[in-house]
Structure 1
Amino acid sequence: MTTPVLSPAPGLPRLGQQLLPVLYQHRLVATGQLHRMLTPHTRRPVYLRRVLQELRGLGLVECTVRRAGKLGGPELLWFVTPRGAEIVEASREVTARAYRISPETAASQLQEHTLAVVESGLAFTTWARTYRDECGPLDWEPELVHRVRDGENRVGDDALLIPDAVLRYTRVTPNGRRLLTYFLEIDRATMQVGRLGRKLTSYARYATYVPAPPPGHRATARAAGREAWRDRYPAVPRLLIVLTGASETVLRRRTEDLRALADADARVRLTPQLAVGITTLEQLVSHGPFAPVVTPLLGDPTPTDVLLAPQAA
């Protein structure tokens, strides 16, 4: 017997149809984040909460309580159930992912990192409305895999690059539209700075990585010497490291340490194709990506914006 193609539950409101792919793609999202994403025109998320409970009653989403809310009180975090995931995948609205968040994972210590990734993407979405640019709730994807080295059965940090998210943003100016792509790396000051420095090497390697042809195959004229990123992006994505989870003093020292590590790494220093900047989540949220809130990884530390171009004098 063939499995029937699933479709959204009858009578599901439009907001419910928007919520399912957002929760599927971003895995775990707080009620307040969903409010700013999907219903920013309302003062309070009363209708949003009602629709979430309706989805929960249909067995399409579930929730857990945040381990440590910003205001010290409880906060609900939402994720899709297996049935909700099947409905999203059947709609083909977003890229299907093998990953499934379980109730145990949703309640684990991974909460804060997952929410910080969402908050970083949401900062771009929120400010895009102010700038009249384009960046919606589905315009960043978490943990997309990129190969950075050839060889069979090669796994782990040495062969794969997995950014916390890949974000696409369309900047609209009087001179036209500009498509920007970012690798987002979220650092909550829980990882040794040296480990984050080694990940910078992987980003530099990806910027110049040319895949070898499969064994027994000869590279075509088109593929010979062609970097892997060209099959996925119009240009090498800029890398934005977003620091959070510690005091301003600690994050400032972390920025200085990362700049020192990058300056000592020949691969990073000699890969001009990769533009890298460091900011804090607080600055990104408060002032926006096109304010001077980004410290370049290399060279002059004068703050610039996410375009990582020198500010005009």
Structure 2
Amino acid sequence: MTTATPPMPAAVSPALSTLAQQALPVLYQHRLVATSQLHRLLTPHTRRAVYLRRQLSILRSLGLAASTERRGARSGPTLGRSELLWYVTPRGAEVVEHDGQITPRAYRISPEAAASQLQEHTRSCVETGLLFTEWARHLGDECGPLDWEPELAHRMRDGDSRLGDDAFLIPDGVLHYTHTTPDGARKLLTFFLEVDRSTMHVARLGKKLSAYARYATYTPAPAGPGRRANSSPGREAWRDRYAKFPRMLFILTGASASSLARRIDDLRALADADPRLHRAGIAAGATTLDQLHQHGPFAPIVTPLLGSPGPCDVLLSPEPTSPDPSTTTRANVPPAPTSRLASQETRATTS
């Protein structure tokens, strides 16, 4: 069962349908989302997105959302139709923030940014979270449209600084997922997501790995004159946000399967050569967007970046919880045993 998108209060948006009220916070949180992605997120039970498109048009007519064409891409049943990418306007952001159910974000996407070369990276990040949501729906797990957040800043050194410098770790996404194991146990999982479209040298991915190691071991200095305490003294800063340090997943796309495999090998070599990463004891792995789509997160699709290169699932545990990906696909994974889960009390654990 996936987490439902909470509707917005009727007092805030009396003219909006339930679907429009669900779409607006999704656009606010994920910044730039394609019509096809919204269809899969919010109306997967419908074959066509006719009603969704109508509601998006209403949001646009009310000045709550806007759209731009995807650069260099054509899709849809009509040849030559451009795919639309949707985002909230400042007025739409005010409506979402008035609801109070989503953490307010200072960032506002502008029409210029929405039409820029950042489209493909943002779309790939949304696609990654969307695949986790679709597989959760398929497996009877929980991961809803608002259960991952893009670009959350995590301070990893003391001193005055601004967003964008090396004082902050900013993952592409932080995703929360509740997985029910075959024996009925529930695991509360958190992942740092890094989406790589093969547009940068692999050495830059190595620097990202080092940044995660710094964050894992960063202990803020004690509060003093003129210094505000941002964390409990004497312990790592991440413990104020997470029960356990999140697993790291690099999701690769944008090249052939053989090129991505070589890229993962290079990333493993960089990780092995980083002593800080070994000391931090971080659980990190890499896979491809295509493997995640085809086989799901609990098939052995992930290559650990430290230790044995043997494939595992997103838990980064030695024994995968699903069959080999050659026999586990979106088409033939059996449905989750919902009747058994409904009648059996389970205990949630953080893993």
**Residue in 1 that maps onto 2:193:** 184
Q: Which one of the candidate residues 22, 27, 48 is aligned to 1:23?
A: 27
- For 1:131, the equivalent position in structure 2 comes to 139
Whether contact under 8 Å (2:190, 2:247) holds in the other structure is yes
Q: How does 1:1-313 map to 2 (within 5 A)?
A: 8-69=12-73, 74-153=82-161, 156-173=164-181, 174-216=183-225, 223-272=232-281, 274-311=282-319
C-alpha distance in 1, partners of 2:40/2:86?
A: 14
The alignment partner of 2:248 has SS state of strand
Q: Deviations over 1:177-225 (max 9, x none)?
A: 11100000011111221111011011011112111123338999x9342
Measured at CA, do residues 156 and 125 of structure 1 come closer, stay the same or move farther in structure 2, by a change above 3 Å? same
Deviation for aligned residue 1:156: 4.1
In structure 2, the CA distance between the partners of 1:59 and 1:218, relative to structure 1 (3 Å rule), is closer
Deviates more, 1:75-84 or 1:208-217: 208-217
Corresponding pairs, count:
307
1:267-293 per-residue CA deviation (whole Å, 9 max, x = no partner) reads: 112221x10010001111111111111
Distance 1:154 1:312 in 2: 41
| TM-score normalised per structure 1 | 0.93
Counterpart residue type for residue 316 of structure 2: L
Please report how far the alpha carbon of residue 159 of structure 1 lies from its aligned counterpart in structure 2 after TM superposition: 1.4
Aligned in 2, Cα 1:51/1:155: closer, same or farther, shift over 3 Å?
closer
CA distance in structure 1 between the partners assigned to 2:209 and 2:35 by the alignment: 33
Tell me how far apart the structure 1 counterparts of residues 98 and 166 of structure 2 sit (CA, whole Å).
Answer: 35
- Unaligned segments of structure 2, at least 5 residues: 1-8, 322-351
Distance in 1 separating the partners of 2:153 and 2:97: 19
Deviations 1:85-121 (Å, cap 9, x if unpaired)? 0000011121100100111111100000000000000
TM-score, L = length of structure 2: 0.83
**Change over 3 Å in CA distance of 1:96–1:6 after alignment to 2:** farther
Structure 1 residue 7, shift from structure 2 partner: 5.0
1 CA distance for matches of 2:299 and 2:74? Answer: 25
CA distance in 2 between partners of 1:101 and 1:185 (Å): 20
- Please give the secondary structure, in 2, of the residue aligned with 1:79: strand
Q: In structure 2, what is the Cα distance between the partners aligned to 1:180 and 1:187?
A: 22
- Percent of counterpart pairs with the same letter? 64
**Counterparts in 2 of 1:148 and 1:168: CA distance versus 1, 3 Å:** same
2: CA distance, partners of 1:304 / 1:14: 40
Check whether the contact 2:271–2:305 (CA below 8 A) recurs between aligned residues: yes
Q: What's the CA shift for 1:49?
A: 0.5
Whole-Å Cα distance in 2 between the matches of residues 64 and 275 of structure 1?
A: 38
Query: Partners of 1:6 and 1:14 in 2: how far apart?
Result: 9
Measured at CA, do residues 155 and 133 of structure 1 come closer, stay the same or move farther in structure 2, by a change above 3 Å? closer
Q: Name the CA shift for 1:65/1:7 in 2 (closer, same or farther; >3 Å).
A: farther
Aligned-partner residue type, residue 238 of structure 2: W
Contact 1:242/1:281 (8 A) holds in 2: yes
